[in-house]
Amino acid sequence: MNRNYNHIRAAIPALLVAFLSGCSGGSGAVNSPDVQAGAGGAAAAAPVLSVPANLSVHEGLTATFLIPTSTLSNGRTATWSIAGNDAARFRIDPATGALSFRQAPDTARPGDADGHNDYDLVVQVSDGLRTSQAPLKVLVLPWNDGGAAGLPLPVVASDVARPAGTTGQPGLRVLDWAGFKAALSYTFDDSQPSQIDHYPDLKAQRVRVTYYVNPVANWYPNYDATWKDAIAQGSEIGNHTTHHCRAAELTDNDPNTCPAGLGSAGAEFDDTGVYIRTKLGQSAVWTSAYPFGDTDYKPAAASRFLVSRGVWPGTVAPGTGSDAQNLPLAEFPADASRFDTAASQGRWMIYLFHTLLPTTQDWGGGVDIGAVAGNMAHAKSLGTVWIDSVVNVGAYWRGQQLLQAATPTTSAGTTTWRWTLPANFPSGRKLRVVVNGGTLSQDGKPLTWDRRGYYEVSLDAQALSWTQ
C-alpha cells in the first residue's frame, strides 16, 4: 500500500460525523459566513451540509461517486454547485448534488491543478437565501493500488451508517464480490508473443489480470521481463502447463503426440510452477488453466491449485458451489450495452484472450487490443464491477464459502466462527461483511466499520467473534 492511501484510510473515521444539527464541529463542513437576512428581517438558518473531507475513488470512474446531503429550513429547496481549484473536472447535478468526473481520471495523467491525483473541490448548497460550503478532496487511486492482494474500493455515494441493531443475533452476512455488484477477470492464455508486444497497452489500464503461461514459449524476446513486470504491477501469472498438450497425450507413449511432454499432468504443472517461482519470481502459483480446457487435468490440479479455469461457457454465482477446478468462461461482449446487461447479473465473469491484434504473430482467435482496453475502461467507468485477477476473485469467492459454511459456537455471550484455509490458499486475503449490530473482533481486536458499508475480516485469522 502506498503512503497516500494509508493516510486517507486513517482519516475516514473522522468523516463519520456525518450529520450536523446546528453544530459545525467535527466534520469538514463549514457553514459560510455570508449570512443574508431572511425576508422578515430575521436570519433564517443556513443550510447544513454533510460532505466527507476526503474520498478515495479508483481511476477510470465516470459514474456518480458522491451524493452529499443537506438539511434546509422548512420549505426551502437545495441547489448544488461546486467551486475550488479542480472544479472544472467535475459535474454536479444542481438538484440532487450527484457528483461525478466529467472525464475518466487517469493517474498517469493527473488532471488536478497540482498533479498529485488529489482533486480539491468546494461543495456548495444554496437554499435560495443562503449558501453553505464544505471542502472535499477526491483522491484517485489506480485499480491495482495495494499491490497484488488489496481489495479495490466499491463506489458508495452516501456514507453507510454502522449497524447498531440489538436483535441478539449477529446476522452475519458476507458481501458478494467485495461489495461490488459483479466480478470480472481478464485471462490471457499461452504467453503469446502478441500479448508481450501489447503488454504496455494492458499495463496502462492498471487493472490486475491473469496471464496463463506455457514456458515453452519463452523463445520470444522480453518473455521473462514482461511477466516479471506484470507481477510487479499486481497481476497474476497462472499455470497453463509447460508443453500445452492434451493430458492423455502425456501418458500414451506415442512419440508422435506431445514428444517433449513430461509424462504426467502433475509433472507439467510442477515444471511450470518452478519456472513461475524461480524465473519470474512469483512467491507461489495459485491457479491454473487447462490446455484446450481439457478436464483430464483436473485430478492433478485439485491438489495443486485454489481454482482452475476451463473453457465451458458460463459465469460463477457468489458464495455457492460452482466447480472450483473447472471455472467457466464468459462471452466477451462486442458492445457496452451487452456488457452492462452481463454485469447486472451479479456474477463472476472470466474472459479468455489468445492473440491480441494487430500482430505479426497471429496464433489464432485474435481480438483487437483496442477492444480489450476499451472493455476495461468501460468496466472501470461504472464503479460497480470488481476487476481483478483469478486468484484474487477466486480467494474471495472460496473465502465467502468457508465463512458461510462455518457453524458458529456461542460461549459467555461471544459467538465465534472458525474456518480452516484450504491448501493453496493465498495469504493476506480479506472478506467484507456486515452484521445487525454489536461488535466483531479478530485476535481480540474490534474490527473497524468502513463508511462504504462493511467490516473487513482477515481470512488468515481463521476465526471471527461477535458480541452484542
* Interaction site with Zn ion (CB under 5 A): 189-190
Specify the 3-state DSSP secondary structure of 270: helix
Which residues face 288 on adjacent strands? 239, 308
Minimal distance, residue 456 CB to Zn ion, in Å: 36
Which residue, 144 or 226, is less far from Zn ion as judged by CB? Answer: 226
Which residue, 8 or 311, is less far from Zn ion as judged by CB? Answer: 311
Minimal distance, residue 393 CB to Zn ion, in Å: 20
Minimal distance, residue 106 CB to Zn ion, in Å: 32
Minimal distance, residue 190 CB to Zn ion, in Å: 4
Which residue, 28 or 238, is less far from Zn ion as judged by CB? Answer: 238
Q: Which residue is nearest to Zn ion (CB)?
A: 189
Minimal distance, residue 112 CB to Zn ion, in Å: 43
Which residue, 295 or 404, is less far from Zn ion as judged by CB? Answer: 295
Minimal distance, residue 240 CB to Zn ion, in Å: 6
Write the CA distances from 379 to 153, 187, 230, 285, 374, integer angstroms.
Answer: 14, 15, 20, 27, 9
The CA distance from 86 to 103, in Å, is: 13
- Cell of residue 172, nine digits: 452475519
Q: Which of 270, 312, 309 is nearest to 390 (CA)?
A: 309
The CA distance from 292 to 289, in Å, is: 9
The CA distance from 147 to 133, in Å, is: 36
Which residue, 103 or 219, is less far from Zn ion as judged by CB? Answer: 219
Which residue, 218 or 468, is less far from Zn ion as judged by CB? Answer: 218
> Within 10 Å of residue 424's Cβ, how many Cβ atoms?
18
Minimal distance, residue 310 CB to Zn ion, in Å: 11
Cα end-to-end span (Å), the chain: 33
Query: Where do the H-state alpha helices sit in 143-264?
Result: 193-197, 199-203, 223-232
Which residue, 365 or 428, is less far from Zn ion as judged by CB? Answer: 365
- Cell of residue 59, nine digits: 481511476
b/e per residue, 250-271, with b = 16+ CB within 10 A?
beeeeeeebeebbeebbebbbb
The CA distance from 148 to 389, in Å, is: 9
Minimal distance, residue 284 CB to Zn ion, in Å: 21
Which residue, 54 or 191, is less far from Zn ion as judged by CB? Answer: 191
The CA distance from 45 to 38, in Å, is: 9
The CA distance from 51 to 294, in Å, is: 53
Minimal distance, residue 192 CB to Zn ion, in Å: 9
Instruction: Give the list of residues 6+ apart from residue 193 with CB closer than 8 angstroms, or none.
Output: 217, 220, 359, 361, 363
Which residue, 59 or 190, is less far from Zn ion as judged by CB? Answer: 190
